């Protein structure tokens, strides 16, 4: 699509999401990038725009996406658009439509426009939350994203689709990053909300290890994929893991470990009474978190995370304190 030796022409979907904002900032100063087109379902406010970036309002499900790729002579797509936490009022259909059908539309557009590389933000959640998961998951382990968790299930379905496209359209190089729990100076989501509570909730008998990826490392790994044109599927997380007891100790907060049966019953009652949107299916999310081994990321992909899981967590805690919103016990 572009002349040999010319700069990369990159389109980013979900560009105004948390990951997209950090990536655009990095792309805006990356040498060798000739064009950056940022698409999102909503207009990006002027205060968040970068000079030299073309901003478009376009849904990933839009059939005109292929024409957008052709118009801007895009050779590389970074696909970040996804719904992490579906709105319970809308059900799962919208999330499925965006996550799965939207990804299929992006892939079809890439093939039609002769795009040469797509970088996809997948998740460790694609492996699923299972009692028999290996202690450390490798890229060769089965993807068993649970149907009970929309995000986990959709990431599995997307990865199965990606595998089909790798077989049918080998000219489209794929770099798939299975990302751990993302932390950063400005991250705010359902995981960080767990750390903000006066006490941390755990399932008795389960340490629930977390592997963390610093947000700048996610952007760094994507840039590395663009620089090297390296394809493959890679777990993306810092070295090591932190268990919930270790996290509670670092925050100076008590850990409330309850029996699984009690938690299951409490979640069922809470959801029935509309006190929480989380039901008993969330028990697996608390107990059996996928723990990602990053050996292939470092040795095969060639990217070394700048922060371990522990360092990412400490940096997150320090950033919250500096912002006047400490998560540690007062």
Tell me the pLDDT of the chain (330 aa) as tens digits.
443 335 899 999 999 999 999 999 999 999 999 999 999 999 999 999 999 999 999 999 999 999 999 999 999 999 999 998 777 676 789 999 999 999 999 999 999 999 999 999 999 999 999 999 999 999 999 999 999 889 999 999 999 999 999 999 999 999 999 999 999 999 988 889 889 999 998 899 898 999 999 999 999 999 999 999 999 999 999 999 999 999 999 999 999 998 988 888 887 777 777 766 667 777 888 889 999 999 999 999 999 999 999 999 999 999 999 999 999 986
Q: Which residues of 241-258 are buried (b: 16+ CB within 10 A; e: fewer)?
A: bbbbebbbebbebebebe
Radius of gyration (C-alpha) of the chain in whole angstroms = 20
Query: Distance between CA 280 and CA 213 in Å, rounded?
Result: 27
Which CATH code for domain 8-185+213-237+291-306? 3.40.50.720
Query: Distance between CA 257 and CA 238 in Å, rounded?
Result: 26
Q: Which of 71, 61, 79 is nearest to 35 (CA)?
A: 71
- The answer to whether 77 and 85 are in contact (CB under 8 A) is no
Query: Distance between CA 286 and CA 306 in Å, rounded?
Result: 27
Query: Distance between CA 104 and CA 111 in Å, rounded?
Result: 11
- The answer to whether 59 and 100 are in contact (CB under 8 A) is no
Full-model pTM? 0.94
Q: Which two structure tokens, joined as six digits, stand for 52?
A: 């030299």
Residues ≥6 apart with Cβ < 8 Å to 329: 198, 251, 252, 253
Locate the domains of the chain by residue range. Answer: 8-185+213-237+291-306
Predicted local distance difference test score (pLDDT) of residue 189: 84
- The answer to whether 130 and 111 are in contact (CB under 8 A) is no
Predicted local distance difference test score (pLDDT) of residue 278: 67
- Token pair 């376009």: residue: 58
Query: Distance between CA 126 and CA 146 in Å, rounded?
Result: 8
In the three-class reduction of DSSP (H, G, I as helix; E, B as strand; rest coil), residue 123 is classed as strand
Query: Distance between CA 77 and CA 106 in Å, rounded?
Result: 9
* 61: DSSP letter: T
Angle made by CA atoms 21, 25, 29, in degrees to the nearest 5: 160
Predicted local distance difference test score (pLDDT) of residue 127: 98
Q: Which residues are 174's β-sheet partners? A: 118
3-state SS string for 233-244: EEEECCCCCECH
Active site residue 303: no
Of 151, 165, 288, 303, the catalytic one is: 151
In the three-class reduction of DSSP (H, G, I as helix; E, B as strand; rest coil), residue 43 is classed as coil
Q: Which of 179, 134, 138, 119 is nearest to 295 (CA)?
A: 138
Label residue 46 exposed, middle or buried (CB < 10 Å: 0-12, 13-18, 19+). Answer: exposed
In the three-class reduction of DSSP (H, G, I as helix; E, B as strand; rest coil), residue 98 is classed as helix
- The answer to whether 50 and 21 are in contact (CB under 8 A) is no
Predicted local distance difference test score (pLDDT) of residue 155: 97
């Amino acid at each position: 699509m572009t002349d040999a030796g010319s700069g990369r022409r990159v389109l980013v979907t979900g560009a105004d999401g948390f990951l997209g904002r950090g990536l655009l900032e990095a792309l805006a100063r990356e040498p060798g990038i000739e064009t950056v087109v940022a698409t999102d379902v909503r207009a990006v406010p002027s205060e968040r725009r970068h000079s030299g970036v073309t901003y478009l309002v376009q849904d990933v499900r839009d059939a005109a996406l292929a024409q957008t790729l052709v118009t801007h002579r895009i050779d590389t797509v970074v696909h970040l658009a996804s719904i992490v936490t579906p709105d319970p009022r809308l059900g799962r259909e919208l999330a499925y439509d965006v996550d799965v059908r939207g990804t299929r539309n992006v892939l079809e557009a890439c093939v039609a426009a002769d795009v040469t590389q797509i970088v996809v933000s997948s998740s460790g959640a694609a492996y699923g939350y299972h009692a028999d998961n290996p202690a450390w998951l490798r890229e060769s382990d089965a993807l068993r994203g649970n149907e009970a968790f929309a995000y986990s299930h959709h990431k599995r379905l997307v990865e199965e689709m990606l595998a089909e496209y790798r077989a049918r359209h080998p000219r489209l190089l794929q770099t798939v990053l299975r990302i751990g729990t993302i932390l950063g100076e400005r991250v705010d989501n359902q995981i960080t909300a767990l750390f903000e509570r006066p006490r941390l909730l755990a399932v008795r008998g389960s340490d629930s290890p977390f592997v963390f990826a610093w947000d700048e490392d996610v952007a760094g790994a994507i840039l590395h994929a663009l620089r090297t044109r390296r394809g493959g599927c890679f777990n993306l997380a810092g070295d090591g893991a932190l268990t919930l007891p270790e996290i509670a100790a670092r925050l100076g907060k008590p850990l409330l470990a309850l029996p699984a049966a009690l938690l299951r019953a409490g979640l069922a009652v809470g959801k029935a009474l509309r006190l929480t949107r989380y039901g008993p299916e969330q028990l697996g999310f608390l107990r059996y978190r996928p723990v990602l081994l990053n050996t292939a990321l470092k040795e095969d992909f060639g990217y070394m995370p700048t922060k371990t899981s522990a360092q990412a967590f400490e940096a997150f805690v320090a950033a919250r304190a500096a912002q006047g919103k400490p998560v540690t016990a007062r």
